[in-house]
Amino acid sequence: MAGVGPAVPVVEVIPTRYRWLSTLRPSPDAPPGDKMFLSFSVPASLLPTTHQSATDVDADGDVKMETTQEQELPKKPRGAVPAVCDVEGCSAKRKYRLVLDWERGACGMDHLHVLERQSGPIAV
């Protein structure tokens, strides 16, 4: 009897990566006149686990995800005073920050090195 043997279990493959597709070729089910097709796929393991109602699915069968207050990025308060170089005697606009002290910084690499020497050696 050929073909008899232990049954091979079927393993369901679950996508674990994001996938971005963009092409100028229209998809087969696209309405006439569409010139571009864009698709961004997210792994199912990253989707919310809440139950979706039938109204949350669009005509293509894609789940519509709505943002909530917790998901929005917090707005950073804008300081009225621009950050300036922390080297004594310099009042230029700060471009770089110290690694060890994020609140201090310098206008250029020369002044940044001065501040690093003042703050001491970096422990590795």
Q: Which of 105, 106, 100 shows the shortest CA–CA distance to 123?
A: 100
pLDDT of residue 120: 76
* Residue 19 parent element (H or E): strand 19-23
Return d(Cα 104, Cα 118) in angstroms, integer. Answer: 12
The per-residue pLDDT for 88 is 92
Residues facing residue 57 across a β-bridge: 63
Quote the pLDDT of residue 92.
Answer: 93
Q: Residue 36 pLDDT more than 60?
A: yes
The C-alpha angle 43, 48, 53, rounded to 5 degrees, equals: 115
Say what percent of the chain tops pLDDT 90.
20
What does pTM read for this prediction? 0.36
Q: Write out pLDDT tens, residues 54-103.
A: 456 666 666 666 655 555 566 666 655 778 999 999 999 999 998 888 88
- Residue 85 and residue 90: Cα distance in Å, rounded? 6
Is residue 49 within 8 Å of residue 60, measured between CB atoms? Answer: no
